[in-house]
Amino acid sequence: MKTTAFLLVAWQCNALSASSAQQRVVVAGATGRVGRLVVSELLSRNSTVVTAIVRDDEKAKATLPLDHPRLEVASDIKLTNSKAVETMVSEADVVVWCATGFSDAASPLNRLRAVAELMMGSSTASFDVRALGLLGDAVRERDTCRVVCCSSAAVTRPAWDDAKKERYKGASDIPIVRLNPLNILDVKRTAEETLRVRSGGRYTIVRPTGLNDDWPRGRVVVSQGDLAVGRISRADVAAVLASLAVDVEASVVNGLTFEMFALAGYPAPASLDAQLARLRRDDRALESFETLDATYALLQQLVPGETLRPQDLAMGQTYEQLDAGETGRLGARGAENVPPDFVRT
């Protein structure tokens, strides 16, 4: 594995020799279950040079094609160090953010520290918030770079007032919102807002619903208002993140936040350009209950399963188990035993 100092020299030299048509994309969290698929998607495009930011050299060897001529790997860039982040961004056109403090700690000790910090309610000091803040600063300073950030659906729902939670119960009373293990949704919401404020609008935030690798790849459905419930495979998430990074004009997606899930059995569209162009930028976010009501009514018809009552699910229970009246792997609703690593992505 190259050292960071050697890597940065090689990175800059490669940038000088690369074709002007090539885009340089940095993937943070590149060995994660989404990140490694993003790397693969990007390398499938001949016009893309990828730098994978990793924490664990051995995991990188096991999950990334290290001999690929358009892949560089950096294992010593600390994402909570401002100088390191500035260096990371200095030659990049796009940074795809797949990292998270909930899963990317390199050692068991660091994971325990992260869990302890989160359980103490120190969300503003979390890895996600600090790192995305620094990344926002860096892309704002270098105004030719932008961020495509993988977040999560449901991040706003714990903060809804009681009336809104009751109005959209099929979105607000689902297990991840009801239990919110380690305050994961609050941390991700704060991290999102930090990126919005500090990046100067040079971001796209993608909020997938439940990640499920047993769910077939399908047609991605995008929406806004944080009302979406459903499933999506990590492969579909990675395909969208890569497309946002290199296939879609920045002017179309900068300043956007949207949720997405996938409909199994429907082919993927050749392009998401038309759907993305219909979305509202965050400075024109959905406000009226009339619009939210219509969005919610449509999305609830697309919930997996036959019961169509996601608010009846227990954490760890599948829609199929709910339909069959079976208990999920973590126990009955209201009595779930949720392990700390359940939130890992």
Read off the pLDDT of each residue in 25-34 and give the average, rounded to a whole number: 98
Read off the pLDDT of each residue in 248-255 and give the average, rounded to a whole number: 95
**Residue 246 covered by a domain:** yes
Q: Is the pLDDT of residue 6 over 50?
A: no
Residue 344: partners with Cβ closer than 8 Å, 6 or more residues away? 102, 103
Q: How far apart are CA 48 and CA 103, in angstroms?
A: 27
Percent above pLDDT 70 for the chain: 86
Q: Convert the pLDDT of each residue in 265-288 to its tens digit.
A: 999 999 999 999 999 999 987 779
The pLDDT, as a whole number, for residue 285 is: 75
Q: Which structural domain range is residue 205 located in?
A: 4-15+22-303
**Residue 114 covered by a domain:** yes
pTM of the model: 0.90
* Torsion angles phi and psi, residue 297, rounded to 5: -60, -40
Read off the pLDDT of each residue in 170-178 and give the average, rounded to a whole number: 98
The pLDDT, as a whole number, for residue 126 is: 87
**Number of domains composing the chain:** 1
> Which CATH number is 289's domain given?
3.40.50.720
Provide the Cα torsion 248, 54, 121, 237; round to 10°: 30
How many other C-beta atoms are found inside a 10 Å radius of the C-beta of residue 263? 16
**Residue 321 covered by a domain:** no
The pLDDT, as a whole number, for residue 287 is: 74
Q: Is the pLDDT of residue 103 over 90?
A: no
Are 61 and 284 a contacting pair, CB within 8 Å? no
Residue 90: partners with Cβ closer than 8 Å, 6 or more residues away? 142
**Residue 276 covered by a domain:** yes
The pLDDT, as a whole number, for residue 104 is: 46
Q: How far apart are CA 225 and CA 150, in angstroms?
A: 17
User: Whose CA is closest to 333, among 322, 344, 320, 345?
Assistant: 322
Q: Is the pLDDT of residue 174 over 60?
A: yes
**Residue 330 covered by a domain:** no
Paired residues of 53 in beta bridges: 28, 74
The SS3 assignment for 172 reads: helix
The SS3 assignment for 254 reads: coil
**Residue 85 covered by a domain:** yes
Q: pLDDT tier at 152 (50, 70, 90 boundaries)?
A: very high
The pLDDT, as a whole number, for residue 239 is: 98
Q: Is the pLDDT of residue 4 over 70?
A: no
**Residue 318 covered by a domain:** no
The pLDDT, as a whole number, for residue 125 is: 52
Residue 178: partners with Cβ closer than 8 Å, 6 or more residues away? 315
**Residue 320 covered by a domain:** no
